[in-house]
Amino acid sequence: MMLAVSAAAPGEPIAQTDIWDDFYAAVFDGVPDAHRLFVEANTVARRHLNWDPRTAFRDGFPAVGARVDAWERCAVELGRRTLPAVLAGQDRSKVGTFVMVSTTGYACPGPDSQLVAELGLRQDVRRVSVGHMGCYAALVGLRAAIDALTARPDELVLLTCVEVISAHFRSEPTREQAVTHGLFGDACASVLLGAVPDGDDLPAAPTCPANPAGAAGDPVAARDPVATSVPAAAGDPGDAAVSVGARVLATRTEVAPGTAEHMSIRVHEDGFHLRLSPAIPSLLRESTPGFVDRLLAGTGLGVGDIRHWVMHPGGPKIVDKVGAVFGLSEA
């Protein structure tokens, strides 16, 4: 069960139009339709960025080592903001496993090692690093957390997911990169999980309505009374409020054969290269219905029972196409 959730993002939100006007208009000069792809088509209005490209890249793009150093510093700082929030009021000696997830950097020992010491966790806490799994990495981390709870149900598990995509902005004047550079921001979320014996009631949340929740490709929440996390104030990049939450009924990940070339992250001399094919929304539209049926199998739930959906928004086309498949409303 998810006992507490906290989220944080670096700095103040930066308007997409400002980033374009002040920096990326020059990078993508001469690329057909780049302004529409970067500013309009993705519907992103503002982003939180650890590295503001207008200042970070004013004198050129740094080497990959400097980029990874920036990722590590930001990951530690955001962990310092989210982890104490989910641990508030908890016995930290009960935390037996700490899972940290990131695709945008690498260090050994990693940020999790530093955070374990700063948080005063047990010396024998089991650290699990989930790296380079891309957009669904959080689900891999959640799966590892659930496995830990299944083996040791008397313990608590911390899960932190952090991405610092701004560390890998670079100059590649193509239509694909106009889309890629316009989509993503930097943020961190931490979750505290604990086991709930079968038949036990979920704890009531004092401030949130009871809403059964589920997600396409994400863990499915039970129909028992649950609480969604309390959001931070609009535009607030700081720590989100914490609340008790949903029981996890099932998780699932799948490999779609023959699709590897459509999405990739490769490390090059000038940073991480992210590739996103325009075919991805259509591929997801075709594969998602069967995937969700297999995810729900054995839970006693059907698609019609899911009242709330959370989709990783890799652009509005993905949200629109998957939403259309399941007949979801804009609300």
Query: Whole-angstrom Cα distance, residue 51 to residue 59?
Result: 13
Domain covering 2-250, topology: Peroxisomal Thiolase; Chain A, domain 1 (3.40.47)
The more confident residue out of 230 and 324 is 324
pLDDT of residue 231: 29
Q: How confident is the model at residue 200 (pLDDT cuts 50, 70, 90)?
A: low
Query: Whole-angstrom Cα distance, residue 298 to residue 220?
Result: 12
pLDDT 10s digits, 156-187: 999 999 999 999 998 899 999 999 899 999 99
Q: 3-state SS of the chain: helix, strand, coil percent to 5? A: 35, 20, 45
Residue 302 pLDDT more than 60?
A: yes
Structure pTM?
0.80
Q: Please count the CA atoms within 13 angstroms of the CA of 249 that sit on its side-chain side.
A: 20
Residue 219 pLDDT more than 60?
A: no
Domain ranges of the chain: 2-250
135 is catalytic: yes
CB atoms within 10 A of CB 115: 23
pLDDT 10s digits, 105-150: 999 999 999 999 999 999 999 999 999 888 889 989 999 999 999 9
Catalytic residue among 74, 108, 135, 161: 135
